[in-house]
Amino acid sequence: MNRFELLNNLQNILNDNLVICNIGLPSQELYKINDQSNFFYMLGSMGLSSSIGLGLSLSQTKQVISIDGDGSVLMNMNTLATIGNRAPSNYTLLIIDNGSYGSTGDQRTFTDEKTSLKDVAIGAGCKKVIECSGEETANELSKAIDDKNNSYVIISKINSGNVKIDPIPLNPITIRDRFRKFIGSVKYL
C-alpha cells in the first residue's frame, strides 16, 4: 500500500474530523481524493503538521488528526516530547512512514535505516503509540478517535511511491477561512 491508497482508505474517518495535512504530496493527494473544508492543507513550513494540530487540539474540543510524514517528524522531533507531555485526548498524530522523502524524489529517510519513530515517541513520553501496517491503519485510527481519554500516535508503515498529481489550486486564505468557518471561529463568511 502506498500513501495515496492509504489516504483513500481513511476517507470515512477523516470526513468527520479536523485534519491538518502535511505539505507537498500528502496534501495534494488528499485534495485530489476528496477536498473538504475541514482539511487544512499546509503549503509551507515542513515539519510543523504535528505542532499545528497540537495547538488546534488545545484550543477547541473537536477531534484533530495531524497527518504527518516520517521525514517531517524527523525534522521536528522535539514535537514528540511536547505531545507526550501536553497532548489532550482529542489529538491524534498519524505518521505516514514510508521511509522516504516522497515529495522530493523518494530519497531514503533514517526510518528506512535504524530509526524507529515508535521507540522515539515512547521515549518522549507518548503513552499510546501504535505501529501498524497500512491495511490496519483505518481500524487503529478509528479506535484512537473513539477513545475519549487518550491521545494517540499512530505510525503507519507503508511503501514509498507517489501518484502523478498537480499542486493545490486553493489560495492560503481560502484554506484558512473555510477551515475556521467549519470550526466556528469566523462569523463573517
Among 8, 76, 89, 150, binds other proteins (CB under 8 A): 76
The residues facing 131 across adjacent strands are 155
Contact segment (CB under 8 A) with other proteins among 24-32, 42-50, 138-146, 160-168 equals 42-50
Among 11, 59, 107, 159, binds other proteins (CB under 8 A): 59
* Cα 34 to Cα 9: distance, rounded to the nearest angstrom: 12
150 touches other proteins by CB under 8 A: no
In the complex, least distance from residue 130 CB atom to other proteins, rounded to whole angstroms: 22
The H-assigned helical ranges of the chain are: 3-9, 11-14, 25-34, 49-59, 70-75, 78-86, 117-123, 134-146, 172-183
| Cell numbers given for 170 | 486553493
In the complex, least distance from residue 179 CB atom to other proteins, rounded to whole angstroms: 6
* Cα 3 to Cα 6: distance, rounded to the nearest angstrom: 5
86 touches other proteins by CB under 8 A: yes
Q: For residue 132, with 0-12 CB atoms within 10 Å meaning exposed, 13-18 middle and 19 or more buried, which class applies?
A: middle
Among 45, 133, 142, 159, binds other proteins (CB under 8 A): 45
178 touches other proteins by CB under 8 A: no
> x/- contact string, 3-22, with other proteins (CB under 8 A)?
-----------------x--
Contact segment (CB under 8 A) with other proteins among 96-104, 108-116, 127-135, 175-183 equals 175-183
Residue matched to cell numbers 485534519: 19
* Cα 96 to Cα 9: distance, rounded to the nearest angstrom: 13
Question: Taking CB under 8 A as the criterion, which residues in 102-131 touch other proteins?
Answer: none
CB 105 within 8 A of CB 160: no
Interface positions with other proteins (CB under 8 A): 20, 40, 42-45, 47-60, 76, 78-79, 81-82, 86, 172-173, 175-176, 179-180, 183-185
